[in-house]
Amino acid sequence: MPEITGLRGDDPAEVAGYRLTGRLSSTVYAGRSAAGEAVAVRLLPAEMDPEPFLRVIEPLQGLSAVSTAQILATGVLDDRAYVVSEYVDGPALETVGGTLDGVALYRLAVGTITALVAIHQAGLVHGDIRPGNVLLGPDGPRVIDVGLERAMAEAAVSTRKVAVPAYTAPERLRGARPRAPADVFSWAATLVFAASGASPFDGGSMAGTVDRIVNGEPALPHLGELHGLIAACLAKDPAARPAASEVLLRLVGQTSFLTGQVAVAEPPKPPAWPAEPPAWPAEPPARRRPGLLPLVAAFVVGALVSGAGVYAVTGRAGPAGTVAASTSPSGSPAADPSITPTITSAQTEAPLEKVEKKAATDTKLPGIGVTLHEHPNDPVRAVSYVESKGSFTSYARDRSGAFKAVGVTEQPLLSPGGDWVALNPLLKFQGSELDQVKFHRLSTGESFVVSTVKKPLQSLIPVWSRDGGKLLLSVYNRESKPARLVGFVVVDLATRKSVHVETEYLDDASLTYTFAPDGSIARGYWDGKRGGIEYYDMSGQVTKTMHWVGMPRGGSWFSPSGKRFVTVCPNGKDFCVWATQGGARQATVPFGDAGGSFIGWFNETHLLVQDPGKKKGTQVIKVIDLVGVTERVLADFATDDPALLQFARVQGR
């Protein structure tokens, strides 16, 4: 808690209607509003010209951003400018640096970068991110003094020198004005201080520190899964640093939580089965694209997406292949785990369905660098996405084909009926201990919120039932060591209530739950030797296991008819198509020379996959048949920016 000393004889008793109650420093006072709310009041030095200072600081008064101390009032008192802001009852990070790691460090990273995203989205910069300007409040970290450094520089008679070079970007030390990339650099240096108690560029003296920032490499402590991201933010070249929005998307869920029929740029190539799978969540490679979402404390993301996390699994809590009931949810006998059905590589017996070879329209989606190539006869189309820059606005496509804004920093998932949108927040626990999911109706604008689980549990990876009447979310405990997938939540759209189910097995995995065609719950698993799928009832018990089929990806592995499903084959080298009833293999689909990532089904005899594009840093979503031949490209990713792009079936097809 900040130390508050008594007022002195020459201190004012009141500023702009706020009663001063004590001193926080020589120029900052504690105070109370007429309603009794605690505030902090800063008086600027008398030698500073109030007019240019207020010209810079007054626009910030309207900024209400998560994890910042809001400016409540500005003005002039006896020729001295003042700023009244929210009071944060907690210590500055500079007093506790070197003590944060694990979950605490992750929360600090998410909270502070969320504040920067909001500041940058407003067209502003902070200009002075450092340990002294981050307060650890009871409701999370708060960034203070937004824009103060720039405002004071404008008001000073002479050029104001940078006060704390240890956290200042190299371009600013060369005289450049504060810009968004400099904030990201300072944020990363501040996170290093939180973990180690020292600046990553500590040179023993101010001159030595400045030289190391400009010419040397940072000294980084063990930062766990944050290490690669922090290092990227400390790049000397401002253009090489990720934007605050990309940092947030990378942080939220570490980009492997939002699964389903969602396309994201730069998917990893499916690996062979590891002898000892790494613990979940796996650290994403440098500049791996979130499948959003994440985006945000959100990620956010979000992300959040099928990808490497599908394979990042460890041993199960129970014996492999255990059958907990004698019948499946539909009443049919459960599969005997000791029996493996006949496996063939024959093609599916379904007649080959037509795919239009040429698109009729090209549609660019603003904010994510994606162009859709669509035809009116397509049974699948893009239906929702989240801006990867700017405001992180979420869009959903209504029945007329128009994309409508439906939320901010939320993962949108359009229902099979095309009217309801489920919005899973990327920013979790903002003002509540309960996780929630929002539902929005495109045709009427109606919306409501359903609570799912209580902190430290989180509900992620939403999947709609085939009739659009229920939403399924996977539940995990991020604070357990290691983090575990612990169950699922089913939300009933009609009753607007949720049911939380704790499952028989707790997995260190991101193999998440989905609806099977009969309405039961299914998921992939890894038992330490092989991967398969299992079915659950609403008591959380396993009712059926298919231990020979390999690992599913995402939440859309069942075909439109429900008669077959796709996995990565047990050899880890191809896609396998299996019969839902009985589990016989119907097709083996090669990845192709460039590798590939399964997105979902296009129709009963064609798959949607994501591949690298012709140009470096680009990706394509394409339709392939069950021998791996490309029929048509559905979408081009022209940039490597993060994207959450959902494909879904067109109603009636």
Q: Residues 318-326: what's their mean pLDDT?
A: 25
The pLDDT assigned to 640 comes to 54
DSSP codes, 95-137: GTTT---HHHHHHHHHHHHHHHHHHHHTT------SGGGEEEE
Q: Residues 385-414: what's their mean pLDDT?
A: 85
Range with the largest mean pLDDT of 59-68, 485-494, 548-557:
485-494
Question: Helix crossing, 50-57 with 148-155: angle to 10°?
Answer: 150
pLDDT at 580 over 90: yes
When pLDDT is cut at 50, 70 and 90, the band that residue 258 belongs to is very low
- Measured in residues, the chain has a length of 653
pLDDT at 369 over 50: yes
- The more confident residue out of 481 and 145 is 145
Cβ atoms within 10 Å, residue 60 = 21
Cβ atoms within 10 Å, residue 64 = 10
Nearest-CA neighbor of 459 among 492, 425, 432?
425
The pLDDT assigned to 613 comes to 78
Strand, helix or coil for residue 521: strand
The pLDDT assigned to 149 comes to 62
Structural domains of the chain ordered from first start: 14-86 (3.30.200.20), 93-286 (1.10.510.10), 361-649 (2.120.10.30)
The pLDDT assigned to 126 comes to 84
Q: What is the gyration radius of the CA atoms in the chain, in angstroms?
A: 27
The pLDDT assigned to 337 comes to 34
Sequence-distant (6+) residues with CB within 8 A of 288 are 250, 255, 266, 268, 307, 308
Q: Residues 65-86: what's their mean pLDDT?
A: 79
The pLDDT assigned to 628 comes to 87
Q: Residues 600-620: what's their mean pLDDT?
A: 85
The pLDDT assigned to 308 comes to 20
Give just the sign of the alpha carbon dihedral 329, 333, 334, 340: negative
CA 357 to chain centre: 35
The pLDDT assigned to 294 comes to 29
Q: In what order do the strands lie in the sheet with 447-454?
A: 410-414, 420-425, 434-441, 447-454
Q: Flag the least confident range among 175-184, 264-273, 496-505, 538-547.
A: 264-273
Sequence-distant (6+) residues with CB within 8 A of 205 are none
pTM of this structure: 0.55
When pLDDT is cut at 50, 70 and 90, the band that residue 150 belongs to is low
The pLDDT assigned to 516 comes to 94
Amino acid at 649: R
- What percent of the chain has pLDDT above 90? 32
Structure tokens at 303: 């992300």
Q: Residues 2-9: what's their mean pLDDT?
A: 80
Sequence-distant (6+) residues with CB within 8 A of 397 are 381, 382, 383, 384, 403, 404, 414, 418
